[in-house]
Structure 1
């Protein structure tokens, strides 16, 4: 069996993730759900989503609805208290270089977009939806492998703009210097945040209760590091109703 919470994991918040997991684990066991002693921090993210012994994981909206919605149970979302965003939702910030004179994403027609991966909702689908609504498109996209790398690609001039998950952006502002060369030029629409999942068809209520109970019991310094305000129920139909975008132009 395996548990993994990889989506916002960084060296600076690893201890907070571990402390939260210990409380989640004990809460799951108290509810009759077997759980591993520790998180599998180094497990390949995509591999964990399809494992039949997945006790708890995190998944991006796009791979959930395009490939995994019939293979896992969606448990909950985390509320990060993002401004002007419903609890449990998230959005992406469009970012560009600080010295770029263009003031809005729509001005980046025929520009180069950096995206973390083609199966990322926050990095590709959410900006694609914005482009469909506002009638513009990039000339091409470069695939960077991560939001952090997308921000660096823009800062270094290898791309003109990117859409960065707002939670990740806050972490970059807190722990890295790359944001000093960048600025926010817009935002995508809000959508359901990253989902907590478990394998197969399961009752989400016990897992959701264990997550919330553990968050309430977590030491204030660890809770502040994670930035999670609350655990909110997930709506699988709302996740699944979002579109699946075409492959990005390369």
Structure 2
């Protein structure tokens, strides 16, 4: 049998690659010590697109987002655990979106962004798509346009250079940007969305989920402190499957949120 596959695609910026590789090395060694067979030596390079990758029957371990989990993955994967980043204003294992605008934008509240251009990283993103659109909907607003960016950093860049007025950024991604991207000094948070469950680790092998959880948690606990600080992960928590499934979705943009 060939090796199974594993990937840590979320938050895995180049500056954090060493920390993620070391986290996998520890998890891999722990899994092998626990008797799990066909554990890959290295993290897999995802070439087929994340949604396809997460649905592979040989998926040993990866991390997804709440939106694809509840819409596409809930019946084909098991939850392994959710990282706790110790985010202000969030329960353990939860996160929220920073609604970010240019620092020199004179508007002070979300309600003033009627007709604005919204940058969205991906239509399957909880923090970059679903959460900000629900907030916009609840504020009674219509956006003037939506611009796809492909990544949270790219969404922030669009706002910074004036190609968009506002973007919803994952609070963990925003934390990393503030530390690693000097140009974010030209941005500010105008509001935050309500907390929702964070990005869960998943596996296609439900009988192994408890073992994988223990092996991943121990690898994180024994990660060198400097690397653990780079990831800003405090540990793993168990978030109930139902808590992911009850998160609200926005109405279809063409029906409610964007001017035609």
Q: TM-score range by the shorter chain?
A: over 0.9
What is aligned with 2:42? 38
What is aligned with 2:185? 180
- Return the TM-score normalized by structure 1: 0.95
SS, match of residue 16 in structure 1: helix
Moved more, 237-246 or 94-103: 237-246
Gaps in structure 1 of 5+ consecutive residues: none
Moved more, 32-41 or 18-27: 32-41
Instruction: String of CA shifts for 1:185-230, please: whole Å, max 9, x gaps.
Output: 1100000000100015435221111111111111111101111011
What is aligned with 2:119? 114
Does residue 205 of structure 1 match 2:187?
no
Q: For residue 245 of structure 1, report the CA deviation from its aligned partner.
A: 3.1
SS, match of residue 110 in structure 1: coil
SS, match of residue 197 in structure 1: strand
Please say if residues 5 and 41 of structure 1, whose CA atoms lie closer than 8 Å, have aligned partners that are also in contact: no
SS, match of residue 207 in structure 2: coil
Q: Which 4+ stretches in 1 moved above 4 angstroms?
A: none
Please say if residues 74 and 195 of structure 1, whose CA atoms lie closer than 8 Å, have aligned partners that are also in contact: yes
Please say if residues 101 and 159 of structure 2, whose CA atoms lie closer than 8 Å, have aligned partners that are also in contact: yes
1:97–1:192 Cα change, 3 Å: same
- Return the TM-score normalized by structure 2: 0.92
What is aligned with 1:78? 83
Task: Work out which of the residue numbers 17, 32, 52 in structure 2 matches 1:14.
Answer: 17
Please say if residues 93 and 197 of structure 2, whose CA atoms lie closer than 8 Å, have aligned partners that are also in contact: yes
What is aligned with 1:227? 232
Gaps in structure 2 of 5+ consecutive residues: none
Does residue 23 of structure 1 match 2:5?
no
Moved more, 141-150 or 172-181: 172-181
Please say if residues 66 and 200 of structure 2, whose CA atoms lie closer than 8 Å, have aligned partners that are also in contact: yes
Counting matched residue pairs gives 250
Q: For residue 247 of structure 1, report the CA deviation from its aligned partner.
A: 4.3
Q: For residue 19 of structure 1, report the CA deviation from its aligned partner.
A: 0.6
Separation of aligned partners in 1, 2:112 and 2:95? 24
Separation of aligned partners in 2, 1:215 and 1:201? 21
Query: Where do 1:118-157 residues align within 5 Å?
Result: 118-157=123-162
Q: For residue 133 of structure 1, report the CA deviation from its aligned partner.
A: 2.5
1:248–1:120 Cα change, 3 Å: farther
SS, match of residue 123 in structure 1: helix
